[in-house]
Amino acid sequence: MRVARERGISYKRLSGWEPEERIEYERDGSGRIVAATVTREPEWDDVERSWAFALANYEDSLCPNCGRPLEVCTAMDTEQRLRMGEPVRCHFTTALARAREKYKDSPHPGALMWFPRLWEPSV
């Protein structure tokens, strides 16, 4: 659903659905087409709208800080029950911090983009 939302399309369209289209022609006494009416199957039917609202409701129920359900992270007893594990290091973030430090005095350092990638050492 999130991928569909980011692209501004319904989930069924993301899944390969295409709307059915019907064209009805109006003809005059000589048989010439004088008008055409196009009827297209709607992309956003009740099911698609329900999916979209369900995702919005789910996301609204999450804490904007930790991403967990609000009913869990704001519960009075959570603080006493919560145990933090040992930290782990994200090595990509470490490399990014080092690269940013190296270029901190360059013009507009915030405009620099970094694309870290893994490499395999030669054997």
Whether 122 is covered by a domain: the verdict is no
CA 29/CA 23 separation, integer angstroms = 19
* pLDDT at position 14: 95
Whether 112 is covered by a domain: the verdict is no
The mean pLDDT of the chain is 94
* Number of Cβ atoms within 10 Å of the Cβ of 10: 21
* pLDDT at position 120: 86
Check whether 123 has a pLDDT greater than 80: no
Residue 91: give the domain boundaries: 2-103
CA 95/CA 90 separation, integer angstroms = 9
For residues 50-63, give the mean pLDDT. 96
* pLDDT at position 122: 82
**Count of structural domains, the chain:** 1
* pLDDT at position 87: 94
Whether 114 is covered by a domain: the verdict is no
